[in-house]
Amino acid sequence: MLHLDITDAAGTLTGSQSQVDPTPTSPWWADAVVYQVYIRSFADGSGDGIGDLAGLRARIPYLAELGVDAIWINPWYPSPQADAGYDVADYRDIEPDYGTLAEADLLLAEAHDAGIKVILDIVPNHTSDHHAWFQAALAGDEAARARYIFRPGKGEAGEIEPNDWKSIFGGPAWTRTNNPDGTPGEWYLHLFAREQPDLDWENPEVVAEFQDILRFWFDRGVDGFRIDVAHGLSKPEGLPDAGEITGLTQHDVPHPAWDNEGVHEIYRGWRKVADGYDPERVFVAEAWVPSNERLARYLRPDELHTAFQFDFLRAPFDASYMKSVVDDARATVAAAGGTTTWVLSNHDVVRHVTRYARSQPDHYVESVWDRLRWHEEPADIALGVRRARAASMFILGLPGTVYLYQGEELGLPEVEDVPDEARQDPVFRIRPAGDIGRDGCRIPLPWGGDGDATGFSPAGATGQPWLPQPANWSEFNAADQESDPDSVLNLYRAALRLRRDQFADVTGFEWVHTSDDVAAFRHGDVEVWLNTGSTPVALPGGEVLLASAHDAQPGFLAPASAAWLRRS
């Protein structure tokens, strides 16, 4: 990673690291806090045990009180739910379990009235196998077939997959079809589940269709899109074998399926669509690429506005490592003229309370996806919550866009003991070696109230939550945290209020102290201090605006805690 600082032996900053941040004319997303809504698990308004638009609409006041600037909603389109809605059957409608298009319009209006922008998920790498295009392709429609990636197999009878690519979810990335007469046919590519056939973005009909989908939702008032698998749309000519490269998520090693040059022309077309609206719409890319230098290519002025910077998802609770993440991200994104983004958890990884609740092993960077390894030692959830409070204050003090995953403001841990019979993630069903999947970070939220559903569903509901909530879930419920001034919820509310008051349209960033256990920076007139060590650290004086922990001696920063200071 890049390091822009020069420190002396004591860890005190000796060089000038001041960097200019966006000016007061920056767009709204440049310093926004965006709340991720995993709609199926957010709030159930109908009583059937599945989160829906009615539940989300009822919680708009909660989100406004929390202080978020926008919400990002995971896929809400009609879907067979083979992969939690990331298998889209119709991009211009609403999943019936969630509500109707008319309710979606009401949500947009109500969120905007509350001062909250709305970002949707779009899934352009693949469709559902129930999509009308794919069904037509299977029926022999050549035009529909050309919108997907069908190839003849190898071997005398075409019985071998066209190449050696593996699915993200396990097994080959190819499934063989039958011809209309019942004889074995060609294979189609699916880099995820077999129910998610990849589209062929060399086909101009695919390009035009998705630009029209963007306009459909922009015209309804949607403020932007999070792009699923943004690095995956363009495939290389000839679909070459990957050989020994098996890490399809491309966290460290390039794979021929990902991050090909063709994606950039696609996003130049999308940017033209977004720029045609006033106010301008925004894109954020989910692009898993080997380096921030590769990520910055997506942020060129005529491409996407922002992209997720995932290094904090892989970072241990270690001040020096976290500082290096900040430096690397800021340097590369600034070179591209983009906006940095910060995120600690999402719907695909172990919640950071649980990541921080265990020791910080050498394999930490890799094990964020290796859910089985989290069972190797007991989890100290109290320690995880304490560290999570500090890490959240650290990223909320940074310039750039912050993404919060639903429930992190309640201090929710990963649910690691979901019964096998209740698990629904295709990762659990398909991936070898018994990967337990992602259901543990998708458990329905505990809002409070009586009954087993802890307020997720309305009183008197007959439906059970679509994933079971653990017996101790009520300990984290929002209703009780409302009245506790020291709760995680009220810490987040205070931090978001201060962020808006202190950092809106503020320029200037510099490190003021760094060491193995301490990272401190100045953002505008506020200093943000983080102590990841096991002993108290002396603060430099000034007014403590907010602290993540309440057990420090006056003038000191407690272990595993953070504080915001205003220096006189």
Cα-based angle 44, 46, 50 (whole degrees, multiple of 5) = 45
User: 370: Cβ–Cβ under 8 A, 6 or more apart, which residues?
Assistant: 363
Q: What is the DSSP string of 137-168?
A: HHTT-HHHHTTB-EEPPBSTTS-B-SS--B-T
SS3 for 329-382 is HHHHHHHHCCECEEECCCCCCCCHHHHHCCCCCCCHHHHCCCHHHHHHCCCCHH
Residue with tokens 């310093």: 31
Residue with tokens 């008032």: 221
If 0-12 CB within 10 Å is exposed, 13-18 middle and 19+ buried, where does residue 334 land?
middle
Q: Of 414, 306, 350, whose CA–CA distance to 22 is shortest?
A: 306
Catalytic residue among 228, 327, 328, 414: 228
What is the C-alpha separation between 266 and 260, in angstroms, rounded?
A: 11
Give, for 215, the enclosing helix (H) or strand (E): helix 204-219
Q: Is 228 a catalytic residue?
A: yes
Q: Which two tokens stand for residue 227?
A: 């792009």
Radius of gyration of the chain from its Cα atoms, rounded to whole angstroms? 24
Q: Of 414, 429, 341, 406, whose CA–CA distance to 381 is shortest?
A: 414
Q: Give the number of other Cβ atoms within 10 Å of residue 531's Cβ.
A: 27
pLDDT of the chain, 568 residues: tens digit per residue = 333 332 333 333 333 344 444 444 689 999 999 999 999 999 999 999 999 999 999 999 999 999 999 999 999 999 999 999 999 999 999 999 999 999 999 999 999 999 999 999 999 999 999 999 999 999 999 999 999 999 999 999 999 999 999 998 888 999 999 998 889 999 999 999 999 999 999 999 999 999 999 999 999 999 999 999 999 999 999 999 998 776 555 556 788 999 999 999 999 999 999 999 999 999 999 998 888 889 999 999 999 999 998 888 888 999 999 999 999 999 988 888 888 999 999 998 889 999 999 876 544 554 455 555 555 677 899 999 999 999 999 999 999 999 999 999 999 999 988 888 888 888 787 765 667 789 989 999 999 965 555 899 998 788 889 999 998 898 999 999 999 999 999 999 999 999 999 987 777 899 999 999 999 999 999 999 999 999 999 999 899 999 999 888 899 999 999 999 998 6
What is the C-alpha separation between 526 and 332, in angstroms, rounded?
A: 24
> How far lies 22's CA from each of 27, 234, 280, in Å?
9, 32, 17
What is the C-alpha separation between 184 and 164, in angstroms, rounded?
A: 20
Backbone φ, ψ for residue 283 (5° rounding): -120, 145
**What pTM did the predictor assign?**
0.93
Q: DSSP class of residue 178?
A: E
Catalytic residue among 93, 280, 286, 348: 286
